[in-house]
Structures are given as structure tokens and as C-alpha cells.
């Protein structure tokens, strides 16, 4: 559409200048009237504006069982297609968002499932959902939330769209146990004006084999999320999985927070040890 607009502007400018269509059939900068340039640039800027640039960073570590991974995939796909999501989309000033979806495990293991895509209505939402569902489910070792955040940050620079907000959405079922400290990655993102929200998954009883912790929700609140309006939605029941994902996406699209927002003060001592995952790994494996 932007290309058609540019060609139309060139044709009009050429005719007003007394030229013939044949002489300007191959449009280029030298044929464009200076008076049309601000209009074209404004139209291009509007076409690239979205309400939020949203990165969905999804845990696929071995602590997630195959059933959880399948429900997680379905949850995101169904949420994006839901009537509630599409209604929330319309309420934004631009009525569209840009989204990318990647899966992560260790600090060097991230895989983009959906590159940046525009969602502006049912058709584009269905296309993104179909892409999510057609990719084979995989699992990998270790849990590096810091690696996921560090991988996500430069993705915003690759996004062809520009949002009013930039959000990284981290979902996972355990603390960081690989890569750099999660708080360092989080703080680097906050310095760039990026908001981080969390979806801690707590549907299983913590066990030594999976290296889970009892208070993963507090860990996410104190060590992972940050930025204006950041929030955590905890999943504690398997049958609430899809509902929680849909609620989280609705709030991110609408720029809202839960009724009980997280009141985290930067200079306050965290309620949990933000290096607990690294400690558990070291105690277990001696490294």
C-alpha cells in the first residue's frame, strides 16, 4: 500500500508540473515533488506505528513436560485468535500490534518461531496462530531467563514497526540457573525503556529433579519483571493455563495491569534470593 501511495504521489506531481506519464513511469526520488515528501513520510510512519511491540519468550526447558508445552502453545494460539483479544486490539490508538514469538532454554539456546508479524485483525491473528501451532514442539536443557532477555532486547531493533510500548513477556517454570544473573539482564532492559512481564508456571509440586522452587511467583516479581505497569500472572492449576495466557495478552495489548499490581521498589531487598537457581544447580552438580 505504501508503494502505491508513493507512485500515486509521483504521478500527480508529474502531471502538475506539465510532464507526461511515460516520462515518470519509473518512480524515484528525483521525480518526487518536495511538497509531497512530508505527506509520504507521515503516511509511512503511520503505517509502521503500532500500540505495542510484544516479544513472547517461552520456556521449553526439560522441566516442562510435553503436555505443558502443548497446552502452552495452544494457549498462545487460542488467545491471539480470541474474540476478547481482537476487541482489545481495536481499543488501541493504532488498532494493531507487532509480535514475535521465540522459545528458550539455556543461555545459548533460543529459537525464533514467529519473526515479527503485524496483528491488526482476525486474518493476521489467524495466520500468527497457525504459525505457532505448525512448528514441532521441542525441549532443551537448562533454564536461562537472563539469556532470553539478552536475546530479546536486540530484536526490537529489527522490528520494522514502532510501538508506543516495548514489552518482553517471559513465561517459565523455574528460576534462572544458566548464563548471567537475571537481575543484570533485567536492569539492562529497563534502561532501554523496555517493560518485562512474567508468567510463572507453578502447576507441579517443586522437586529436586526439576530444580523448581516453592515461591517462583515471588522470584518473578522480585528478580525478573520490571518497568512501568509490569506485572506477574501465576499459573497454579493446569486447567487455568490457557485462561491465564489469554488474560496476560489482553492486558499487554490494552496496556493495563491486574487489580493487584506488583509494588516492587528498586532499592528494597528482594524476598527471595535472585541467585537461587544458580545455587541449586551448583549444589547439585558442583559447578
How confident is the model at residue 287, as a pLDDT? 59
DSSP string, the chain: -HHHHHHHHHHHHHHHTT--GGGGSS--GGGS-TTTHHHHHHHHHHHHEEEEEEEEEEE-BTTS-HHHHHHHHHHHHHHHHSHHHHHHHHHSSSS-EEEEEEEE-STT-EEEEEEEEEE-SHHHHHHHHHHHHHSPP--BS---HHHHHHHHTTHHHH-SSEEEEEEEEEEESS---SSS-HHHHHHHHHHTT-EEEEEEB--S---TTTT--TTHHHHIIIII-BSTT--B--B-SGGGHHHHHHHHHHHHHHT---SS-----TTSPPSS-TTHHHHHHHHHH--
CA 150, CA 63: separation in Å to the nearest integer?
Answer: 21
| Tens digit of each residue's pLDDT (9 = 90 or more) over 78-92 | 999 999 999 999 999
How confident is the model at residue 268, as a pLDDT? 61
How confident is the model at residue 251, as a pLDDT? 93
Q: Does pLDDT of 75 surpass 90?
A: yes
How confident is the model at residue 257, as a pLDDT? 77
Cβ density class 130-150: b for 16+ within 10 Å, e for less: eebeeeeeeebebbbbbbbbb
Q: Does pLDDT of 210 surpass 90?
A: no
Q: Is the dihedral of CA 161, 165, 166, 168 positive or negative?
A: negative
How confident is the model at residue 45, as a pLDDT? 54
How confident is the model at residue 252, as a pLDDT? 94
Separation of CA 13 from chain center:
42
Q: Which residue has the higher pLDDT, 280 or 269?
A: 280
Mean pLDDT of 163-174: 95
User: Within a 13 Å sphere around the CA of 145, how many CA atoms are in the beta-carbon half?
Assistant: 34
Binning pLDDT at 50, 70 and 90, where does residue 183 land?
very high
Separation of CA 241 from chain center:
18
How confident is the model at residue 207, as a pLDDT? 62
| Tens digit of each residue's pLDDT (9 = 90 or more) over 19-54 | 332 332 333 333 344 454 444 334 445 668 999 999
Mean pLDDT of 175-199: 96
Instruction: Report the alpha-carbon angle 71-76-78, nearest 5.
Output: 90
Average pLDDT, the chain: 82
Binning pLDDT at 50, 70 and 90, where does residue 198 land?
very high
Q: Which residue has the higher pLDDT, 14 or 274?
A: 274
Share of residues in the chain with pLDDT > 70 (%): 77
| Tens digit of each residue's pLDDT (9 = 90 or more) over 111-125 | 999 999 999 999 999
| Tens digit of each residue's pLDDT (9 = 90 or more) over 141-164 | 899 999 999 999 999 999 999 999
Q: Which positions ≥6 away from 286 have C-beta within 8 Å?
A: none
Q: Which residue has the higher pLDDT, 177 or 257?
A: 177
User: CB atoms < 10 A from the CB of 57, how many?
Assistant: 24
Determine if residue 99 is left, alpha or beta; phi over 0 gives left, psi from -120 to 50 gives alpha, anything else beta. Answer: beta
Amino acid at each position: 500500500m505504501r508503494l502505491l501511495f508513493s507512485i500515486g504521489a509521483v504521478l500527480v506531481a508529474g502531471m502538475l508540473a506539465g510532464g507526461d506519464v511515460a516520462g515518470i513511469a519509473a518512480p524515484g526520488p528525483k521525480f518526487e515533488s518536495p511538497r509531497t515528501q512530508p505527506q509520504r513520510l507521515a503516511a509511512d510512519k503511520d503505517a509502521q506505528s503500532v500500540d505495542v511491540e510484544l516479544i513472547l519468550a517461552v520456556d521449553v526447558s526439560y522441566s516442562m513436560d510435553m503436555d505443558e508445552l502443548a497446552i502452552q502453545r495452544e494457549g498462545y494460539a487460542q488467545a491471539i485468535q480470541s474474540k476478547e483479544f481482537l476487541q482489545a486490539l481495536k481499543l488501541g490508538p493504532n488498532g494493531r500490534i507487532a509480535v514475535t514469538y521465540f522459545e528458550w532454554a539455556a543461555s545459548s539456546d533460543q529459537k525464533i518461531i514467529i519473526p515479527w508479524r503485524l496483528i491488526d485483525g482476525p486474518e493476521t491473528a489467524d495466520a500468527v496462530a497457525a504459525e505457532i501451532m505448525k512448528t514441532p514442539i521441542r525441549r532443551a536443557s537448562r533454564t536461562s531467563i537472563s539469556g532470553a532477555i539478552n536475546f530479546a532486547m536486540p530484536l526490537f531493533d529489527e522490528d520494522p514497526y514502532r510501538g508506543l510500548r516495548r514489552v518482553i513477556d517471559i513465561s517459565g517454570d523455574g528460576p534462572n540457573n544458566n548464563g548471567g544473573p537475571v537481575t543484570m539482564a533485567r536492569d539492562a532492559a529497563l534502561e532501554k525503556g523496555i517493560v518485562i512481564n512474567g508468567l510463572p508456571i507453578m502447576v507441579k509440586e517443586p522437586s529436586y529433579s526439576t530444580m523448581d522452587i516453592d515461591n517462583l511467583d515471588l522470584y518473578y516479581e522480585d528478580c525478573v519483571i520490571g518497568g512501568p505497569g509490569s506485572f506477574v500472572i501465576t499459573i497454579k492449576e493446569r486447567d487455568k493455563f490457557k485462561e491465564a495466557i489469554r488474560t496476560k495478552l489482553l492486558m499487554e495489548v490494552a496496556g493495563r495491569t491486574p487489580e493487584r499490581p506488583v509494588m516492587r521498589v528498586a532499592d528494597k531487598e528482594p524476598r527471595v534470593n535472585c541467585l537461587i537457581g544458580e545455587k541449586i544447580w551448583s549444589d547439585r552438580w558442583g559447578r
